[in-house]
Chains A and B, each alone.
Chain A
Amino acid sequence: MSGLRILVPVKRVIDYAIKPRINKAQTGVETAGVKHSLNPFDELSIEEAIRLRERKGPIKVEDILALSAGGPKTPDVLRTAMAMGADRAFHIDVPEKGDAGLEPLTIAKMLQAVVKEQNVNLVLLGKQAIDGDQGQTGQMLAGLLGWPQATQASKIEIKDEAGTIEVTHEVDGGVETLRTKLPMVITTDLRLNEPRYASLPNIMKAKKKPLEKKTLADLGVEDVRKLKTVKVTEPPPRKGGGKVEDVDGLIAKLKELGAL
């Protein structure tokens, strides 16, 4: 095994601290003029790629490639990824149409093409994006490539030079450890690591790192939509509880509700 060539696909999403508003046509959430940032789960996967390099394990990390598909503002998150420590980035230019963007299958096909073209042997993805919450891309990509996959990793260890990898993930009532060999696909869970902050000097330095612009057509993928969003609505508002005066009031209320 020569070296690890890691692909980290990322997504630009509405910042986690912002409450999303539904647009008037009820076809999606309002994105214009809303603060966006790098999907938190993707930050974890970038951090893990950098840590694999810093840990100086049995296999040297040769390349960390960040990739994102989207409109003209997508490079922002790629710069953040490179400020954290990715070596280079691909921006797949997809025009914004005011909808949810590419579907997971299209993205998986696009990633498959990049994996082949760039000779990638490890793909680290966030387990889901906090906007669509679909959580499908990693699994679909593993399927298309025919590679082993470990989802929702909480620990990743490279065991030897032959590329044996152990991935731990949390399951109901304990942890499960999977062992496989490179190449593989891993999706990250929240507890995997603590992503570093993209500091000002590093963001400045990241501006010098190579960022290539490509299109879906370059990768031989078409933007096919198989799903139609019928309607997006807010969840019903929570009804507040009532207060009772005393014990008698409580009992009366419980009886009224049929609990006694």
Chain B
Amino acid sequence: MVNLELRRQVINVYKELLFLGREYPLGYQYFRDRLHRAFASQTQITDDEQIRKGIARAEFVKKEVEALYYLKRYRTLKKRYGSEA
């Protein structure tokens, strides 16, 4: 029996990650392929608890990517505008 609520959550987090991937430094294609593979490799999971863990991991990755973007921008700007070299 498929848990519809979890299914919705998985699709949502996938969409949000795809959206984040549009700005990925190595290109959208690179990010999308890997993201797709990561999700596809988990399709056999049926246990609700396992799926929840998977969603939590996806949320974690989302935060990591956001942090990566922030740091990349911060460092570039600091290099450009910082007083010390």
Contact = CB atoms under 8 A, between A and B. Distances in A.
Interface in A55-76: none
Given A16-B76, A200-B15, A190 B81 contact: yes
A195 interface: yes
A197 B69 contact: yes
Contact of A40 (B16, B66, B77, B83): B77
Interface in A1-60: 16-17, 40
Interface in B42-85: 66, 69-70, 72-74, 76-78, 80-83
Given A190-B78, A190-B81, A200 B73 contact: no
A201 B19 CA distance: 10
Contacts of B81: 190
Interface residues of B, number: 19
Secondary structure at chain A's binding surface: helix, strand, loop or mixed? Answer: loop
A194 B77 contact: no
A200 B14 CA distance: 11
A233 interface: no
B66 A197 contact: yes
Contact of B73 (A40, A172, A199, A201): A40
Interface centre among A130, A190, A197, A200 (most CB of B within 10 A): A197
A130 B20 CA distance: 23
A124 to B, nearest CB: 18
Interface in A157-182: 172
Nearest to A15: B23
B74 A200 contact: no
Given A199-B16, A200-B16, A194 B70 contact: yes
Contacts of B76: 16-17
Given A172-B83, A197-B20, 17 more contacts: A16-B76, A16-B77, A17-B25, A17-B73, A40-B73, A40-B77, A130-B77, A190-B77, A190-B78, A190-B81, A190-B82, A195-B70, A197-B66, A197-B69, A199-B16, A200-B19, A201-B12
Interface of A: 16-17, 40, 130, 172, 190, 194-195, 197, 199-201
